[in-house]
Amino acid sequence: MDGELFPRERAVIAPGAVHVPDWLGAARQRELLAACRAWARPPAGLRTVRTPGGGVMTARQVCLGLHWYAYGYARTAVDGDGEPVKPMPPWLAELGREAVAAAYGAPPEPGPDTAYDIALINFYDGDSRMGMHRDAEERSTAPVVSLSLGDTCVFRFGNTASRGRPYQDVELCSGDLFVFGGPSRPAYHGVPKVLPGTGPRELGLTGRLNITLRVGGLG
C-alpha cells in the first residue's frame, strides 16, 4: 500500500506459512476484481452460505472448479441455485503456481493432482468476518494460496490443534499474498475483522475480496 512509513516485508508466520505483501500490482488487482465481478453473477454466483447447525456465514461466496458447501465439495451449487459451478480458468491455476513459487522461492512439485483446480472467493462487506476454521475438505496437501483485494483485514493464523491460542494476527492489505502449506496446511485461521474504507481508492471496491486457490485432489 502507498503511504506506509516502512515497507512491509515478506514474513514467515509459521513453518510453511508465508505472507508476501503487495504481491499483486495495481493492474493485476483490477483484472482480478473485474473477473470476480463476472464470477459473482448468476448462474452459480455469489451466495450466502448456511452451516448445518443453522448458522449463516457473514461473508458471501462464489466458487470456481468445484463448489464448496458446509462441509464438502460438489459440481453444482447445491446450497445455491443448483447450477453447475463455473470452471477454474487456466490463468488462475497458473497464478496459484506463481504464488507458491513467490512465497517459497521454488515452484510446486509437478505431478498428478498438483494443479490449482478450485477457487473460493469470499466477499466481506459491512461487518463480515470469518470464524476460526481449517480448510479441510480438500484431499490434497498442496498449499492454500490466498489473495486479498480491497479493504485491509486482520487475518488470524493459529495452530493445528485448536481454534484458540497461540495465534498470530497479520494485516492483509489489497494485493497481499498469503500461502499456507507443509506443517501449516491444517492450521486454524480466520478473519476477526475487516477495516472499512482502507482499500486503495483507485481500485473502486467497497469491502474486501479474498480468493483462495486450492488443489482438491478429489479426482
Residues that bind ligand AKG (CB under 6 A): 120, 122, 130, 135, 146, 155, 172, 189, 191, 210, 212
d(CA 86, CA 191): 26
Name the E strands within the chain. 11-14, 17-20, 60-64, 67-69, 72-74, 118-124, 130-133, 144-150, 153-157, 168-172, 177-180, 189-194, 208-214
Instruction: Determine how many CB atoms are found less than 10 A away from the CB of residue 146.
Output: 23
**Contacting residue, 28, 129, 132, 135, with Fe ion by CB under 5 A:** 135
Task: List the single partner that 174 binds among ligand AKG, Fe ion, none, CB under 5 to 8 Å by kind.
Answer: none
| Structural contact between residues 10 and 19, judged by C-beta atoms closer than 8 angstroms | yes
Task: List the single partner that 68 binds among Fe ion, ligand AKG, none, CB under 5 to 8 Å by kind.
Answer: none
Beta strand 72-74 with 144-150 is unpaired
The nearest distance, CB 100 to ligand AKG, in angstroms, is 17
- Show the cell assigned to 26: 495495481
**Within its chain, how far is the Cα of 124 from the centroid?**
12
Task: List the single partner that 170 binds among Fe ion, ligand AKG, none, CB under 5 to 8 Å by kind.
Answer: none
Alpha-carbon distances, residue 45 vs 39, 48, 64 (angstroms):
6, 10, 10
The nearest distance, CB 196 to ligand AKG, in angstroms, is 15
The nearest distance, CB 69 to ligand AKG, in angstroms, is 13
Check binding of 125 to Fe ion (CB under 5 A): no
Task: List the single partner that 146 binds among Fe ion, ligand AKG, none, CB under 5 to 8 Å by kind.
Answer: ligand AKG
Q: Considering beta carbons, is residue 185 or 200 the nearer one to Fe ion?
A: 185
Q: Considering beta carbons, is residue 47 or 156 the nearer one to Fe ion?
A: 156
- Show the cell assigned to 122: 469470499
The nearest distance, CB 72 to ligand AKG, in angstroms, is 14
Residues contributing to the site for Fe ion (CB under 5 A) = 135
